[in-house]
Amino acid sequence: MVGTKPTVKAKALRFERLRHALWAGAITLVFALMQFFQPVDQMIWVTQNLTFKEPASGEVAYIYSERSIADPDFPERREELAKLIESLDQAGARAIYIDGVFTDPSTEAADSALNTALRDLSGRAFLTYRLRPTVTGETESVRTIDVIRSGVPEVGADPGANFLGYIWESSYDIETPDGEMPSIAAHIADTDGGNADIFPVNYSFDLDSIPSMELSQASRPNVDLSRFEGTSVVIGLSRVEGYHIPGVRDVPPVLAPVFAAESLMAGHTRFVHGGLTAFVLGLLVILAGRLRDKKMRRTAYAFTAITLVGFAATAGILGWRVGVFDAVAFCAIFAIFRLRSVWKDSFALVDLETNLPSFAALEADKEVAESVPAIIVAKIHRFEQVRRSLPKELHAEYIMRITGRLKAATQDATIYLGQGHLIAWTMKEKDPALLQEHLEGLRALFSAPLLVADQQVDVGISFGVDISPSPNVARRLASAVDVAEKTNETYDPIIIADTASDEDLIWNISLQARIDAALENGEIYLAYQPKVMVQTGEIIGVEALVRWKDPVKGHIPPDNFIRQCETAGRMTHLTRFVLEEACKAGNAFEDRGLSLPIAVNISATLVHERGIVQMVSEVLDKTGFDPRRLTLEITETYRISNIDRAADILGELDRLGPKISMDDFGVGAASLEALLRLPFSELKIDRTFVSQMTSNPKAAGIVRSILQMGKDLRIIVVAEGVEDAGTLTLLRDSGCLVAQGFGISRPVDFERITQFQQDGGSDILRDMV
């Protein structure tokens, strides 16, 4: 179905929505670059992790300490840690990671014991190489003293939590002066991240499902450490306040690498940047804004918002980290722009002085667009002169007195105020005579003066009317205003707009743009009329005929717009379109198993220039259509002014492969000369003769003579304009082989042609014989 062509106002509103979307995007980008949305995004991530919980793998455990194990003043704590490491090894721990740094020596015995315990695990115990931010914003390296570190491998540790106390991302590798070093999480998960540098830390794992124990409790004699069997144990050396996970504040920092490792092992490493989310959402908003129907547009906006919520929820389920608030902010800013625009429009729809609806409200009235009543515009004469003579506080009363009298005589119709001296309303009655009579009565009613305060004011009034059937209210209102401005009280107090002639004038002067728009919008399309064997009814080809269905004017007769195309210089453009679409249809027929020749009309005005040869050649190359299945029907050959030049050009076309057919043979003084001198391999008898065969013996005789001439010249003769079975019978008896016409089939769409063939081909003549 062809959509309604957008009005200038609709296009302006569409552009305004686009502009608002672009401004919303720009503002969102500025705030995003300032990291203005980061705190809100983090709160959204907290909500996601609390909402969508899942059990941990159980392969990563942690032991935390309420005391500082690294404090050099307490060597017994280092000895206690050494014994714990030995106990964890005996319990079957797979690997042990010390999440902390021993920067100062304690007693030689304590440090040596700890080093021995770590080295005895034969590469399954790891110390931490930590990067720590400095006051200058740089990072410094912090590592364990040599006496403890000797012979013990190291892994990297990320800097601490952000300003909100969360660690939302971790690194696969830590850059150290000695080179890259895998992080604790990456080493536990045994992954290098490929080309990625960082990954999101997911906190959706149930904390209770992660094996854990407090260090002092784990160090007690005979304590059951079986929960750590087969696990990678991360031991935290201290508890520092200020680190949080979703739902729990001030947890041991050792949980950061634990959750990071679980994220890697669960595959929760996908991060969708907030900028990308906002960009995609912005595209959806822009596409929704292009919809003309307000209800559909609002539905699309709602769908976009639901899509964002659904995407965030899905990301939470899948364990993805998604920057959402950039998109939320974009939507909010766009909504603010749109609400501001609606707020401004609401003021434009109402006259502030009288509180009456304005002309803008009339233009936006859907009921008027659907019911298409008569639009009447009253012109108040000497309006400004009267206003200047009245005190300002009486201006609104003056207008209300006028509109009150109009309402009394117009069955309480809605009155709309225009600029200054113009007032409009609508009426269901569209008969010109009855409208004239009614408006004359209104003029008589206004012959009596109005009483404004204690002053009598004479009112001169005249009317402009539009009764056209167009649903375009803005155009009809403009038409009524235009004729109202031409009225005067003495000679032409009432003028009904000649909208038909105005629209035809607008149509003609804007045809070039209309043709281009119609081609783009699908208003111009092809229909196909079968050519059949007269004896059998078999379809042996189709003629591609161009049609135009304008959303306002409806179906436009081809003769009308084709002639206007020639006048406006758009015939080449239209012909290329028809030729391309016909060749594509020919290929589509062949894909359906129908090797049908396609005939296309070529205006005789185009055979004076070699451009038609290039056009046909380019279309054949572009579509790959077999030129032997293409027929070029040259219409109105009597319009060929230079027969020699036409012969050269048609000869070149013939050498490309298509058949050259003479259309409308028998009309025009030059037909016989054209048949003699031009390379036609087919001629079509004009419908003027074929349609009269059953009623006019002369017409029947001419048709038979042309058929015989075709046999003598050994060219195909097609009879067009077959309207009934009697004509078809006479053609069959006269030896005509090929015919077409409304009596056989009207031009139909592509699918109907294929249906004809599927039904057996000869069924197309069943109703005629």
User: What is the pLDDT at residue 648?
Assistant: 93
pLDDT bin (cut points 50, 70, 90) of residue 8 is low
Q: What is the mean pLDDT of residues 125-148?
A: 82
| Pairing outcome for strands 539-550 and 179-182 | unpaired
User: What is the pLDDT at residue 76?
Assistant: 92
Using the 8-state DSSP alphabet, how is residue 358 labeled? Answer: B
Q: What is the mean pLDDT of residues 81-99?
A: 92
Residue 210 structure tokens: 């992660």
How many C-beta neighbours within 10 Å does residue 545 have? 18
The DSSP element (H or E) to which 47 belongs, if any, is helix 38-51
pLDDT bin (cut points 50, 70, 90) of residue 319 is confident
pLDDT bin (cut points 50, 70, 90) of residue 552 is confident
pLDDT at 1 over 50: no
Residue 133 structure tokens: 């931010």
pLDDT at 2 over 60: no
Q: What is the three-class DSSP state of 125? A: strand
pLDDT tens, residue by residue, 32-59: 777 777 777 778 778 878 888 889 999 9
Tell which wins on pLDDT, 696 or 344: 696
pLDDT at 157 over 50: yes
Tell which wins on pLDDT, 380 or 163: 380
Distance of CA 257 to the CA centre of its chain: 44
Quote the CA–CA distance of 680 and 716 in Å, as a whole number. 9
Q: Which residues of 138-162 are buried (b: 16+ CB within 10 A; e: fewer)?
A: eeeeebbbeebbeebebbbbbebbe
Tell which wins on pLDDT, 567 or 733: 733
pLDDT at 769 over 50: no
Percent of the chain with pLDDT over 70: 92
Q: Which candidate, 643, 646, 560, 644, places its Cα nearest to that of 602? A: 646
Of 155-169, 441-455, 487-501, 701-715, give the range with the top mean pLDDT.
Answer: 701-715
Least confident of 156-170, 245-259, 274-288: 156-170
Distance of CA 659 to the CA centre of its chain: 43
Q: Which candidate, 144, 146, 74, places its Cα nearest to that of 110? A: 74
- Give DSSP secondary structure letters for 460-498: EEEEEEE----S-HHHHHHHHHHHHHH--SSS-SEEE--
User: What is the pLDDT at residue 681?
Assistant: 93
pLDDT bin (cut points 50, 70, 90) of residue 696 is very high
pLDDT bin (cut points 50, 70, 90) of residue 489 is confident
User: What is the pLDDT at residue 635?
Assistant: 86
pLDDT tens, residue by residue, 643-682: 899 999 999 999 999 999 998 888 765 478 888 899 999 9
| Pairing outcome for strands 738-740 and 524-533 | antiparallel
Tell which wins on pLDDT, 769 or 226: 226
The pTM is what? 0.46
Q: Which candidate, 493, 509, 489, 490, places its Cα nearest to that of 501? A: 509
> Length of the chain in residues, anyone?
769
- Give DSSP secondary structure letters for 687-708: HHHHTTTTT-HHHHHHHHHHHH
pLDDT tens, residue by residue, 594-627: 889 999 999 888 888 889 999 999 999 999 999 9
Quote the CA–CA distance of 593 and 140 in Å, as a whole number. 76
Beta-carbon contacts of 241 under 8 Å, excluding residues fewer than 6 positions away, are: 250
On the 0-12 / 13-18 / 19+ scale of CB atoms within 10 A, 471 is middle
What is the dihedral angle through the alpha carbons of 226, 229, 232, 236, rounded to the nearest 10 degrees? 20
